[in-house]
Chains A and B, each alone.
Chain A
Amino acid sequence: MSKQATGTAFVALLRRDFLLAYRRRAELLQPLVFLLVVVTLFPLGVGPSPTLLANIAPGVIWIAALLATVLSLDSLFRSDFEDGTLEQMVLSGQSLALIALARTVAHWLVAGLPIVLLSPLLAMWMNLPDEGLLILIESLAIGTPVLSLIGAIGGALTVSLKRGGQLLSLLVFPLYVPLLILATSAVSSAVVDLPYTGQLGLMVSGLIASLTLAPFATAAALKLSLS
């Protein structure tokens, strides 16, 4: 049997995902608008005091990013599962972990990267001091791929369930705790001119660890969901 070269299959899958995302670009905006709305609610809820907002800015932006990511995770594997694409991919002989990784990469590029790009606007709204802005962007750039990678495990576990969305958030939010702690503390430290490289370093190691481990867990979960 002439199995397709892994690289070619990986690229074919990425290209398909971008094409599908492009055809459904209106849907992609939903999590981003959600992100903007959530951040807007905070000044309305706690008052517009600039110092208060600046204090809670890293946490608010990061929690909003968490919520927006989880919102888009439910659909990560759902349509491929429901129309039979996933079972054909499993049977194609290609590594399922690699397929999971390709889907996750595509998910980050269309759902995670826009959050990173929007963060300066959010920082401005939340009155985050300029010293923290660069670190906020860096922390989101390192952290949102981790959100996608870990979230993909939850998405794969709940894909065969009719209403997996709520369960998905219950599964993945506890796993996001360390990331949230590290990222917000890095930004807060940068604002008050304290060292933050340690936190960012730990986040990078978290990214490497989840990059190597999470696709295998996702693959196992996908196989299980198909059984």
Chain B
Amino acid sequence: MDLPNNSHMLAVTGLSFERYFERVFEPVSFELDAGSLLLITGSNGCGKTTLLRLLAGLLDPSEGKIQKEEQPLYAGHFPAIKDDLSVEENIRFWMKFMGTRKSDQMDGLCEQVIEEIGLTPVAQQEGRTLSAGQRKRCSLARLLFCDESLWLLDEPYSNLDPQGIAMLDSILKTHLTSGGACIMTTHGSLRPEGFDLQECHMISGRERYAGEAA
């Protein structure tokens, strides 16, 4: 067993993933420490989502290694919201299922979370009635009640309005200053503002094949 030789929150070496017997993206390596934000950029289809799913543990790497201290929190494209449950019921279920920081104050915490993500007016509405932006906000509620220190956010700004973006930025700032870390993907149009960030640009496997052939 190789143990992480230092205190990186996450260390990735030569990581790649194959689909249809081709690399989805060229191998990437990076380290992430507490308090840092890593932005993963690249064109559509270059494997950003695949990388996050690998880091989350939903996929197994074809090459390379991921060393992580603990299970990260993953917020993907799918909001994990049930159409037949109200916003409050949805959030409450995930709180019960995943556990919260303060499990004894679940009721208060639930209200507080809904307030923070700005969904108080629609708290009793069913999931099906939410707009895309409201869904996104609802799925981001997990950031507020789970205590994972590493966050993996896949296109977190998509569908959010300016207030939503500001809300996410402020949640993120609190997380980073309290010793958390975050990896975030973006295809370029929306980037986090006012953060001290690292950037990792991804190249799709196909692009490289095309480059070799030329």
Q: B33 within 8 Å of A by Cβ?
A: no
Cα A4 to Cα B148 in complex, Å, equals 13
B56 within 8 A of A: yes
- Decide: B82 and A83 in contact? CB cutoff 8 A: yes
Q: What chain B residues lie within 8 Å of A83 (beta carbons)?
A: 78-83
Q: Determine the interface band of chain B, counting residues with CB < 8 A from chain A.
A: 20 to 34
Binary interface encoding of chain A residues 12-33 relative to chain B, with 1 for a CB under 8 A from any of its CBs, else 0: 1101100110011000000000
- Give bound CA distance, A157 to B96, whole Å: 28
- Complex CA–CA separation, A88 to B78 (angstroms): 10
Contact present for B76 and A87 (CB under 8 Å):
yes
Does B45 touch A at the CB level, under 8 Å? no
Give the size category of A's interface with B: 20 to 34
Choose from B58, B81, B85 the contact partner of A16 (Cβ within 8 Å). Answer: B85
Tell me, in angstroms, the Cα distance from A1 to B99 when the chains sit together.
9
State whether A4 touches B97 (Cβ < 8 A).
yes
CB distance from A28 to the nearest CB of B (A): 13
Q: Does A177 contact B (CB under 8 A)?
A: no
Instruction: State in angstroms the CA–CA spacing of A85 and B75 once bound together.
Output: 11
Within 8 Å by CB of A84, from B77, B96, B148, lies B77
Instruction: Say yes or no: A92 contacts B59, CB within 8 Å.
Output: no
CB distance from A89 to the nearest CB of B (A): 7
Closest chain B residue, CB of each to CB of A12: B96
Q: Provide the main secondary structure of the chain A interface.
A: helix
Q: In the complex, which residue of chain A has the Cβ closest to the Cβ of B149? A: A1
In the complex, whether B101 has a CB less than 8 A from a CB of chain A is yes
B60: chain A residues at CB < 8 Å are 227
| In the complex with contacts A83-B82, A84-B78, A84-B79, A4-B99 CB distance below 8 A | yes
Give chain B residues whose Cβ lies under 8 Å from the Cβ of A16.
82, 85, 93, 97
- CB contact between B99 and one of A2, A15, A20 (< 8 Å): that residue: A2
Indicate if B115 sits at the interface (CB-CB under 8 A).
no
Q: Does A82 contact B (CB under 8 A)?
A: yes
List the A side residues contacting B193 at CB < 8 Å: none
Q: Which residues of A contact B129 (CB under 8 A)?
A: none
| B98 within 8 Å of A (CB atoms) | yes
Could you tell me if A9 and B97 are in contact, using CB atoms closer than 8 angstroms?
yes
The digit string for A68-110, where 1 denotes a CB below 8 A from any CB of B, is 0000000000010011110111111110000000000000000
Residues of A within 8 A of B (CB): 1-5, 8-9, 12-13, 15-16, 19-20, 23-24, 79, 82-85, 87-94, 226-227
Q: What would be 27 A-B contacts, judged by CB atoms less than 8 Å apart? A: A3-B99, A4-B99, A4-B103, A5-B99, A9-B96, A9-B98, A12-B97, A13-B97, A16-B85, A20-B84, A23-B84, A79-B82, A84-B76, A84-B77, A84-B80, A85-B78, A87-B74, A87-B76, A87-B78, A87-B80, A88-B98, A88-B142, A90-B58, A92-B98, A93-B71, A94-B97, A227-B59
